[in-house]
Amino acid sequence: MSKKSLIIEQAALLFAEQAIETTSIEHITKQCGISKGAFYLHFKSKDDLILQIFDHFFKDITARFTVIETSASSPKQKLHAYVVTFFVMLEEKLPFISMYIRQQRTPNEALFDLFTYYNKLIDHATKQLLVAVYGQQLEGRTLDTLVTFKGLMRGYSEHILWHRTAYDYNKLATTIVERLSLIVAQSATPFLQDDALTLAPCEEITVEVISEEITLQLKNYPPQSLIYETLSILQQELQQAKPRKAIIHGMLATIQTEHDLQWLIFLLNNGKLH
């Protein structure tokens, strides 16, 4: 684990236990066994740290969705796993999220922009999954089905947030997928309409965004390693006027099982590469 990841994870735990206002940077550095100087190498302030915690959470969930997306399961099995993973993640992050809500902290502009960015990314990936599951049934109503699905997820999330007990998330996933399937099969009057089932690459994921992530990841691998060489080839290919899909897919196959690169894989699978 990198020093930055260590700080993020330990700070999230301390904030959940002691609240944000009463947790000082000194508490965090002591918990991590680092100096204040080391803290400020990675974060400008406590507010910047909170922003990075949420960024870490979002990257974590999209990375886990990537593992599902690239698995050999059927589309419907992937949708079930997607729902389970979402609620498992919610359970893991609930102490920090509950504390944040209890303190009634108002998201600043940077945090609002972060939420907006990741919401667009996750919506794009979710629509692709829904199209894979329901196919021609979604003709003209992919967006409407996405909103319905998110409504089911949000409703149960709020219930879990305010009614704490042990939940069977496999059963919950079965319930949500079953109800969504009934709605898709029976609904004839979508409120929101769209044009086609074929979705364009996500506009939010540009070549520059992907290249920046590769540059960050190159620092985590020794230059003589296979992963470093693979990332370097990917970086070079992305600098071409028209990156070759065969090269990118070949390099993806090499890093597919690398846990720390799942966020990068998500970007490559969903990004606009030219």
CA–CA separation, 152 vs 146, rounded Å? 10
How confident is the model at residue 219, as a pLDDT? 86
Length of the chain: 274
pLDDT digits 0-9 by tens, 165-224? 999 999 999 999 999 999 999 987 888 887 656 667 777 888 899 999 999 899 888 998
Asked whether 182 and 251 are in contact (CB, 8 A), the reply is: no
Please provide the distance, in angstroms rounded to a whole number, between the alpha carbons at the two ends of the chain: 33
pLDDT recorded at residue 112: 85
What are the structural domains of the chain? 1-43 (1.10.10.60), 54-186 (1.10.357), 207-270 (no CATH)
What type of residue is 2?
S
pLDDT tens per residue across all 274 residues of the chain: 578 888 998 999 998 888 888 899 999 999 999 998 989 988 998 889 989 999 988 888 888 888 898 888 999 999 999 999 999 998 888 888 877 777 755 667 888 888 888 998 899 889 989 999 999 899 888 999 999 999 999 999 999 988 889 999 999 999 999 999 999 999 878 888 876 566 677 778 888 999 999 998 998 889 989 999 999 999 999 999 888 888 998 999 899 888 888 889 988 888 877 5
Query: Which residues is 271 bridged to in the sheet?
Result: 202
Residues 15 and 18: their CA atoms lie apart, in Å, by 5
